Amino acid sequence: MAFRYPGGKKYVKSEHQKMPAASNRFANRGMSLEHDLNETNKHYNATGQAVIHKKPTPVQIVNVDYPKRSAAKITEAYFKQPSTTDYNGIYRGNYIDFEAKETKNKTSFPFGNIHPHQVDHMQQVLYHGGLSFLIIRFSILDQTYLYDASHFIWWYKKQSHRKSIPKQHIEENGHLLETKYAPRIDYLEIVDTIYLA
């Protein structure tokens, strides 16, 4: 079947649009979790559902190389202070604060992915009545879960002999998030069902 533009001109697929080789076809099938969440949050903002943003990481720039003005390059920088969680904002009058992490591990979520000050921050958000959770992607399995911070904190602080949370516990106590076109990861659907019903 030949496709034509409205004026009748025949559509010809350009070289860069042709199907990639079989070995490359699935290379970029799953976008990064951060990219998916940023796209989701743009959708929420554009549709007036929520205002949720990625927090900038506080960095102190120490040295910049200026080979020419249009090509300035930061050559040395330091974190000013430990960052808290990745995302925060407001939804239906509720403060939302969450961390997003990907792991290649198939059977558990390692504690090494989260820093102690982030755990303390999530605990403070819960204490003050905010909604706090993690969005965890098992990248090899292409599964993403919303996992309440209270579950994570319990494992992290009470199960000190462990170095990870079993994936089975996340499956049983978390909520599987479907990846769609728009929004990419509709985590507010779970927030409505679990936290705000």
Give the pairing type, strands 87-91 and 94-103: antiparallel
Is 142 annotated in a binding site? The answer is no
Angle at the Cα of 128 from the Cα atoms of 123 and 133, rounded to 5 degrees: 45
Q: Name the region of 142 (left: φ>0; alpha: ψ -120 to 50; beta: rest).
A: left
Q: Where are the domains of the chain?
A: 31-55+82-194
Please state the φ and ψ torsions of residue 58, each to the nearest 5 degrees: -70, 115
d(CA 121, CA 135): 16
User: pLDDT by residue (tens digit) across 65-99?
Assistant: 877 767 777 777 665 556 688 899 999 999 999 99
DSSP letter string over 57-103?
Answer: P-EEEEEEE-SSGGG-EEEEEEESS----SEEEEETTEEEEEEEEEE
Please state the φ and ψ torsions of residue 38, each to the nearest 5 degrees: -60, -40
Is 86 annotated in a binding site? The answer is yes
pTM of the shown model: 0.74
d(CA 100, CA 102): 7
Per-residue pLDDT of the chain (197 residues; tens, 9 = 90+): 454 445 555 555 544 444 444 333 333 344 599 999 999 999 999 999 999 999 866 666 767 787 776 777 777 766 555 668 889 999 999 999 999 999 999 999 999 889 898 999 999 999 999 999 999 999 999 999 999 999 999 999 887 678 999 999 999 999 999 988 889 999 999 999 999 98
- Token output for 18: 């042709």
The predicted structure's pLDDT at residue 80: 57
Is 118 annotated in a binding site? The answer is yes
Is 97 annotated in a binding site? The answer is no
| 31-55+82-194: CATH class | alpha beta
Residue listed under structure tokens 């300035």: 72
